[in-house]
Amino acid sequence: MNKPFLHYIAALALIGCILPTDAQAQRKKKKVTVKEISIYDIDTLKQPVPRNRQLWHDKIDKEQKRADVSDGAVDKLIYFSDDTLYTNGITRAILTEVDHLQKMVENMPANGRDAVADNQEKIRCLKAVNDMLVGYNTDVKPDPIFYKKQVANMHDLLIARNEGKGMEFVKNNISFQTLNNVKVLYETNAPERTFIFTEMGNREPQIMIKRLSEFADAPFADNVVAAAAKVVPNELFNYASSTNYVLSGAVKRSKDPLVQTIVRISQESKSPLKAMPFLNDIHTKKKTIAEIDKITADHDLFYQNLVRLKTENVLLGGDTYTDELKYRGLKYVREMNDLHEAKDPVRFKCIENFPPEVLYFIIVYGQDEIYTSSFLGTYRRMMERLKPTTGDSLLEKVHYDKFRTFIRMCAGYNVLSDFLATMDGEHKNKLMRDFIAGLEKGKDNDLEDAVDVADAFGSIQDSSLAAFLDKQVKDNYELAYKNRSKKGVIIYGLLATLFEGSKAVDSGNVAAQQSEKLNLPPINLVQNKNLLDDSGRVYEQFFFYGDEDGKNSYASFLGNFKDGKWKMTTSKYWSTITSTTGKPITIYANLPLTEPEDEEAQKELTKYLNDNNIKPTIVVHRGHSYHLPLTMDRLIKETRIVMLGSCGGYHNLGTVLDHSPDAHIISSKQVGSMAVNEPIIKAINDQLLEGKDVDWITTWKGLNGYFATKGREKTKETFDDYVPPHKNLGAIFIKAYRKMLNSTEE
């Protein structure tokens, strides 16, 4: 084995040396080049600030203080997470570097402007800096790396503008940071503004079309609208149907043929939302709008035609019909789940007439909600109808869509060997090589495939297959190293570390070693001190919903607090449960009021917590997965433990960590169960009452013993589908990847 792989951890730590950034290159140059200090680098004012501009400095200072106090303290530190990379980076950008921007603007040479024009220019620049800070402070989910880059971008853009090189800078720095800064620094009709909005519309139409209100009346809006129609036609449909005449007008006035097809669907279809997935059929005149309306009126026919689009590999409107495929497929998953105690002929009647490719899509797009038994029943029927063909022929038919998700699910439900047995050795090896290969492709934040691979590692029992995958990871690491792929080096280095750890025995020492290798805080425990507020109290928040399941869950939840260790009070919208013995704990749980009052209860509780500066460090979601987005939207960066029931998918894990970057996530391969949730919650609170750290290895050993007792066999099967944080390889991978990637950008 060559030297690069043997030292991959060192390579990860020193990836900035392997793949130097522009900033590093500049630093190297500075070591050998003595350069005269520029007027833009001087950190003292050359002249006093006149009163009319001091008003803008005061506004900027106010926004800086607002950012500083966002973590509850004015201490010249903007806390983002326990990871000092994020906290120090955003603190330096917003506080230190913005201070320098203020001085730099004041010191800027007039470059031929008279006193009046120079004053107006400097006010414009200061206003732009202030608007940038307002944008940061009003962002409900600020990305510290993004804003660190935006401040640096503003610095360089101000200099370029002052030297008459604004357009040159914009063309050489096409990014959202440049777009945001140009928007606040340049006039509406400025060529720099037209260029960056048009260029970003072509490069990032999915994001830019969501910002249509910012430029709907501008001439370049037509270009952005036409580009968006090809990739996010549903967004165009929403605007075409909008009662906002500015937005709808921007779409309807477009001469682009595809945009006009979207407009026709919005106006002529009986069920336009259902018709939109078939945009390609209508646009190419393969089917009329009336024919599509007949298809969408029959749910089974509708679903099978959505699968047809997949097997035909239709690219136009891919996200639109994929979203619909997932949404419509959940009907079958939920029906099978609801009939989990019925005999198979009854339970699986809803899928009896479907061919294997349709069953495949029900499985992979139903991953967040499918029960173990529902998966196995669907999988068996898929395999029976597949005969005499092979598993690889099925994957070819579906164009390998979500094949890593499918393999991960097969590994998790212990049928991977069965699926692979349908293939000869050559095709089996090719499939598993493809499973590992190519994870470095796409943008830096495209991690879904890599997370599927990471999650699969912990479930593979076949030792020969595990050894084969281990070698593939190492081979791909070495290839990424050779090709100087930063993303590839990080992904495969982390997978190698996770793969090694997934084979190790559960122990605190092993987990500690894993944390050290991954450069993460402990993955096997949450320190008690990190769960306390300044007064030494732990705050928890539980989210309940107003359907029947939510009401039952709430009643079951209350049973945890009848042992004399707690007292409870109930208001109009929530219950407050406080410990009466041991360490102080306060739990807030919104009442499961009938929908939509349940959301109102959550909103009122969240407002109360915000008004009283209460930041729950433990959050528990008690509800079906379709309620999950509402819970995740209310997560905060201070949260350290998140229990979300079914949350195995990358998008859910990524969203949780976007909001709560230090969270330890308890998830399940299927929906949560009251009989499992309550013992887990009790085990956590018992440790907190004693002032202990929450130790996942000890907790799970105790719970395994509890569920292994006689009479709990069926519940034990459900518990076995729960994944503790130290085994949640997908979440661990995302944390480690983000930290490693961002460390190379410092």
Residue 666 in 3-state DSSP?
strand
- pLDDT at position 662 over 80: yes
Question: Per-residue pLDDT tens for 595-653?
Answer: 889 999 999 999 999 999 999 999 999 887 778 888 999 999 999 999 986 555 566 88
Mean pLDDT score, 316-341: 90
What lies within 8 Å, CB to CB, of 211 at 6+ separation is none
- pLDDT at position 151 over 50: yes
pLDDT value of position 744: 62
- pLDDT at position 667 over 90: no
Mean pLDDT score, 105-129: 95
Q: Which region among 35-49, 184-198, 384-398 has the lowest average model confidence (pLDDT)?
A: 35-49
pLDDT band per the 50, 70, 90 thresholds, residue 74: confident
Helix H, strand E, coil C: the string for 253-291 is CCCCHHHHHHHHHHHHCCCHHHHHHHHHHHHCCCCCHHH
- pLDDT at position 27 over 70: no
pLDDT value of position 712: 87
Rounded to the nearest 10°, the torsion over CA 530, 534, 539, 541 is -90
pLDDT value of position 645: 65
Q: Which helix (H) or strand (E) holds 568?
A: strand 566-570
Mean pLDDT score, 39-53: 92
Question: Per-residue pLDDT tens for 378-424?
Answer: 999 999 999 999 999 999 999 999 999 999 999 989 999 999 999 99
pLDDT value of position 372: 84
Q: Which region among 19-23, 136-140, 631-635, 716-720 has the lowest average model confidence (pLDDT)?
A: 19-23
CA-based nearest residue to 221, from 276, 271, 259, 170: 259
State phi, psi for 579 to the nearest 5 degrees.
Answer: -70, 145
Question: Per-residue pLDDT tens for 525-562?
Answer: 999 999 999 999 999 999 999 988 889 999 999 988 98
The CB density around residue 531, as the number of other CB atoms within 10 Å, is: 23
Residue with tokens 């750290």: 693
Specify the amino acid at residue 104: M
Q: Look up residue 542 and give its DSSP letter.
A: E
Mean pLDDT score, 694-704: 94
Q: Which helix (H) or strand (E) holds 385?
A: helix 372-386
Residue 74 in 3-state DSSP?
coil
**Percent of the chain predicted with pLDDT > 90:** 71
In the Cβ-directed half-sphere of 630, how many Cα atoms lie within 13 Å? Answer: 19
Residue 567 in 3-state DSSP?
strand
Q: Which region among 157-166, 403-412, 494-503 has the lowest average model confidence (pLDDT)?
A: 494-503
> Exposed, middle or buried by CB within 10 Å (0-12, 13-18, 19+), for 219?
exposed
Mean pLDDT score, 53-78: 93
pTM (2 d.p.) = 0.78
- pLDDT at position 506 over 80: no
In whole angstroms, what is the distance from residue 54 CA to residue 33 CA? 37
Question: Per-residue pLDDT tens for 508-525?
Answer: 666 677 787 888 888 899
pLDDT value of position 252: 94
The CB density around residue 327, as the number of other CB atoms within 10 Å, is: 12
Burial pattern 333-370, b for ≥16 Cβ within 10 A else e, equals bbebbebeeeeeeebbebbeebebbbbbbbbbbbbbbb
Residue 575 in 3-state DSSP?
strand
pLDDT value of position 606: 94
Helix H, strand E, coil C: the string for 476-526 is HHHHHHHCCCHHHHHHHHHHHHHHHHHCCCCCHHHHHHHHHHHCCCCCCEE
pLDDT value of position 7: 45
pLDDT value of position 3: 45
Q: Which helix (H) or strand (E) holds 642?
A: strand 641-646
